[in-house]
Chain A
Amino acid sequence: MNNVIDVESGNLALGGRPILRGISLSVRQGEVVAVLGSNGSGKSTLIRGLMGLAKWNSGDIRLFGTPVAQFHDWHRVGYVPQQLSATSGVPATVKEVVASGRLSRRRLLLPMRQIDRAAVRSALAAVELTDRQNDAVSHLSGGQQQRVLVARALAGEPELFVLDEPNSGVDQHNRLGLARTLAHLVEGGGTVVVVLHELGPLAGLIDRIIGLHDGRIVYDGPPGDEATLEAHEGQGHVHHHARSFPDHVPLEPGWRL
């Protein structure tokens, strides 16, 4: 098995509530896969499950052929969360945050080696933040903070790059920059899984789309057939104005069907 990601019949519940149901998918090396779906469809949970941050209830989930629970080669994975975690109480520079992305390849108690420094430098350059490296991250704009997170993942020189809605709250200039960075990564043989709300400037890079709806995969195929996805999105979904009472809400006394 040479797939980067393999999920076979994965089910994941959070706090007892089933979120992902019957998920089966695989991502091959070098693919660029976009995960699409509306809010609450389980996109972020899928990513968190793949990263070992949320626990699967059942199913066979593998990264690079190893079950995720036993996976230890985390330096092969670069994770870009949706946003910088709530600004911490002590300032940190851009460079310090990016350098923390190198930890998966560093040894305990040893200073950074030459190659570690070089990786941090080129990660900063890739997102065009070299001239801001000594500024506090909290002083940057939202789009620039997003770039810091991308650089942090790049610094580990991962083979699999996983991004959770990197384009939300980010302007066009930054989105184009991200598209260039990812294109460069793919040229080098990297694999990309990216959660998106809409394809936007990344459309040209995407090889395959996985559509989620209500915790199930409803579409898995090449881009361009999004109409199919839209059709699935519409299935079983009733617009509120089409009925005289809100659906999914218990009827109040007096209502008659």
Chain B
Amino acid sequence: MTLLDYPFMVRALVAALFTGLAAPAIGTYLVQRRLALMGDGIGHIAVTGVGLGLLTGQSPVWTAIAVAILGALLIELIRERGRAGGDVALALIFYGGIAGGVMVTGLAHGSAQTLQSYLFGSIVTVSQQDVWAVVALAAGVIFVALGFAPQLFAVCQDEEFARVAGLKVRAYNLTTSVLAAVTVTVAMRTVGLLLVSALMVVPVATAQQLTRGFKITMLVAMVLGGLTSVSGVAASYYIDVAPGATIVMFALACFVAAWPVGSLVRYRRRLRQPFGEGDGALPHTVVPEEHGHAHGDECGHPAVPHADHVDYVHDGHRHAVHGGHYDEH
């Protein structure tokens, strides 16, 4: 029997795919605004929502979403008001959220086991209704994140310019927060509340090792998120650990693989960046020693464009062909 023969696995895989696509989409905006840990904060707060659901007998998904949205709006308002004490205020909210969640769950006589399935994800507990909720919410997040991409990008890139361009900056910022809160709740079933932030941030960090643009970073991150989520859930079936752990480990493995490649690409790109023209002409300096080596396409020295010619970079010097000799540039 393959894993697709189990209905609960199919549900878990579908939920994982949508979660994996939605989390990096919204995560890209959070990373751009340097709020990479915001998802973590919302995740902590949502624990209280889960506890309230268990206490009142409601579906934890809906209580978690309500509490997460409230928490996300609160974080955004604290951020907007600014600098001093902001991070301490955030820390208070995070700790309050998780402590409240554990306490309320205890009052509801929920076991540590129950809570753990929300903290680190669980493939066996995804019900039919859960899958529909996850798919609908994730599709909504993806639609807004992609459809309003130009506006959200402008607001995250330069808030003041966006305001002068006539954009409702505050509305877009609050939208981002609400989307983040919804994503956290969506991801609760697969990666779990404590690891959801990793799925928002790690694929973005991986993608930008190789990309130069915003849109392409977002798309690559979404693909990576989808792949690691699906494969993580599948792996958790075989090795019987919480899917949150396998998903995040896979995502981190992608980052570890991409980082050296990214470093190399960046290093090579920097070597080949054209030299500036300079304001005034430098004096004509001929390479003093006998230059036995002939520079060319095949010589292995980086050839860097410099104004209307090419400089060959050579032991910290820049050699340019001039008549029958080389000049120092």
Contacts and interface: CB of A to CB of B under 8 A. Distances in A.
Interface of A: 51-53, 72, 74-75, 77, 79, 81, 84-85, 88-93, 95-97, 99-101, 103-104, 106, 108-109, 134-136, 139, 141, 152, 156, 171-173
Given A96-B213, A100-B158, A141-B276, 7 more contacts: A74-B166, A75-B166, A90-B28, A92-B213, A103-B165, A103-B166, A139-B212
A84 B160 CA distance: 11
A103 B165 CA distance: 7
Contacts of A108: 148, 151
A93 B31 contact: no
B160 A81 contact: yes
Please name the 9 residue pairs, one residue from A and one from B, whose CB atoms are nearest each other, closest first: A74-B166, A100-B154, A93-B213, A79-B164, A90-B32, A89-B31, A92-B214, A104-B165, A136-B212
A215 B213 CA distance: 41
Given A85-B157, A88-B32, A100-B153, A156 B213 contact: no
Contact of B150 (A88, A103, A135): A103
Contacts of B217: 90-91
A81 to B, nearest CB: 6
B208 A90 contact: yes
A101 to B, nearest CB: 7
Contacts of B211: 91
7 contacts: A74-B165, A79-B160, A79-B161, A91-B211, A108-B151, A109-B148, A135-B212
B291 interface: no
Q: For chain B, what secondary structure do more than half of its interface residues adopt (helix, strand, loop), or is it mixed?
A: helix
Given A52-B164, A100-B150, A103-B150, A136 B32 contact: no
A95 B317 CA distance: 33
A99 B150 contact: yes
B46 interface: no
B24 to A, nearest CB: 11
A85 B160 contact: yes
A75 B147 CA distance: 21
A85 B159 contact: yes
A134 B213 contact: yes
A53 B164 contact: yes
A77 B163 CA distance: 11
Nearest to A136: B212
Interface in B200-240: 204, 208, 211-215, 217-218
A140 to B, nearest CB: 10
Interface string B272-311: 0100110100000000000000000000000000000000
B165 A93 contact: no
Interface in B242-268: none
